[in-house]
Amino acid sequence: MEFPDDIVEIDPSSDSRWPSLVSRHPGASVFHTVKWLEALRQTYGYRALALGRVSPSGELLSGILLCEIRSWLTGNRLVSLPFSDHCEPLVTGPEELSQLLASLVMQRRERNWRYIEIRGLSTQYSDAAGGPYREFVFHQLNLRPTAEELFRNLHVDSIRRKIQKAGKSGLTVKSGRSDGLLTDFYGLHVRTRKRQFSTPHPIAWFRNVLGCLGDDACIRIAYKGETPAAAVFTLQSGTTLVYKYGCSDEQFHSLGAVPFVFWDMIRNAKKENRLNLDLGRSDPDNPGLIAFKEKWGAQAQPLLYSRTPAVGNVLEQGTRQGRIFKQLFRLCPDWLLVGAGKLLYPHIG
C-alpha cells in the first residue's frame, strides 16, 4: 500500500532532509538527531524511519521519527523513540500527526507491527496518536536566572546544605568522556540499578552514545578521594542540557555526593550559556524522585505516551511479569545482572 503523494517515508540517517528539518524546528531535541539514532543502531540494531509531509519540490515540511523494534520476546512495533524520554512529533499540530499516523496504520498488518507508540512532550498530541496508555511526570529547570538566584531557590535542608557539606567533606568533580570515567560511571550505574531492582544498560550503550554524540555527551563524577561517589550522564543540544542518567554509591549519600555533582552540572551549564535543563521523566509511583527534582526548582508537567492501537507490553513496569523480574534482579550477582541487561534491553526499547 502506497502513501499519499505529499507523504514520504525516508531514512533519517542518510536523507539530508531530516537533519535540515531538525535544525529549524523548535520542537526538535537531541533525541531527533542522526547522532542519537546511530547510537541506537550500533547498540540495539534498531532501524530508524521518518514519515513526513513534503512540498511539491520535495522539501520535508514536517515529520515524525520512529525506530522499528523487531523482537521475539515483546513483539514488533514502531516506537518514537526507544530509550528517549520524549520525541516530539515535528508537525504543525494534532491534525497533521493524525494524518501521518493514519498512513502508517494502514501498513501495520502488512509490515507486522503490533502498535505504533508516540512519546510526544506536548499533551496535545496524545489523542491524535491513538490515546494515552501511560503517564509520567516531566521536569524542566529554567537556567536563565543567575547561578546565585538558582542556588537561593534550592531546598535549604535537602539540597543547599548538602552541597555545602559535600564541599567541606573534600569531594571533587571530574568530567569528560574518557574510558576511565566511563568505567567509574558504569560501576555506579550497575550498583544503582541493582539497588532499584533493575538491570543496567550494557556498557556498549554508553560507549556508543559517547562515540556518536562526541562533545554533546558528557560524564560528570563526584569523587571522595579516588572513589567514585555519584555521577550524571548528560547530553546537550542547542541551549538545552539533558540529564539522562544518574547513579551513586549509597555509602556517600550522607556526604551529599548526589546534590554536589548535580550542582556542578548546573554551574557548568550556566557557564556554557544553556537556558534549560531537561531533567527527564519520572514514574508517578516514584514520589521520591519527583520530590528530588522539584527541590531544585524544576517545573513539572504531564508526559503522556500514546499507542495505536492500545496493547500491553509484557515487560511494562507494574505488570505481574515486571514485578517477578524485579525480584529476580534483586538476587542476581552483578555479572549476571549485567548479562541480563545485554539480553533484555534490545527487546524493551
Considering only residues 345 and 312, tell me which one the structure prediction assigns the higher pLDDT.
345
Distance CA 83, CA 236 (A): 16
What the chain holds in terms of domains, given with CATH numbers, is 7-136+305-313 (3.40.630.30), 145-274 (3.40.630.30)
pLDDT band at 318 (very low <50, low <70, confident <90, very high): very low
| pLDDT tens digits, one per residue of 234-253 | 999 999 999 999 999 999 99
**What's residue 328's pLDDT?**
62
Average pLDDT over residues 214-232: 98
- Of all residues in the chain, what percent carry a pLDDT higher than 90? 81
Of 206, 276, 265, 282, the closest CA to residue 241 belongs to: 276
Q: What angle, rounded to 10 degrees, do the helices at 334-348 and 179-195 form?
A: 90
| pLDDT tens digits, one per residue of 92-150 | 999 999 999 999 988 888 999 999 999 999 988 888 888 888 999 999 999 999 999 99
Of 181, 268, 191, the closest CA to residue 226 belongs to: 181
**What's residue 326's pLDDT?**
61
**What's residue 324's pLDDT?**
53
Distance CA 28, CA 33 (A): 8
| pLDDT tens digits, one per residue of 267-281 | 999 999 999 999 999
Residue 311 pLDDT greater than 80, yes or no: no
Of 284, 278, 244, 294, the closest CA to residue 135 belongs to: 284
**What's residue 330's pLDDT?**
64
Residue 3 pLDDT greater than 90, yes or no: no
**What's residue 93's pLDDT?**
92
**What's residue 319's pLDDT?**
47
**What's residue 1's pLDDT?**
53
Distance CA 121, CA 302 (A): 8
Residue partners of 26: CB distance under 8 A and separation at least 6:
none
Average pLDDT over residues 208-226: 98
Average pLDDT over the chain reads 92
**What's residue 231's pLDDT?**
98
DSSP 19-70: HHHHHH-TT--GGGSHHHHHHHHHHH-PEEEEEEEE-TT--EEEEEEEEEE-
Residue 316 pLDDT greater than 60, yes or no: no
- Pull the grid cell for residue 293: 527534582
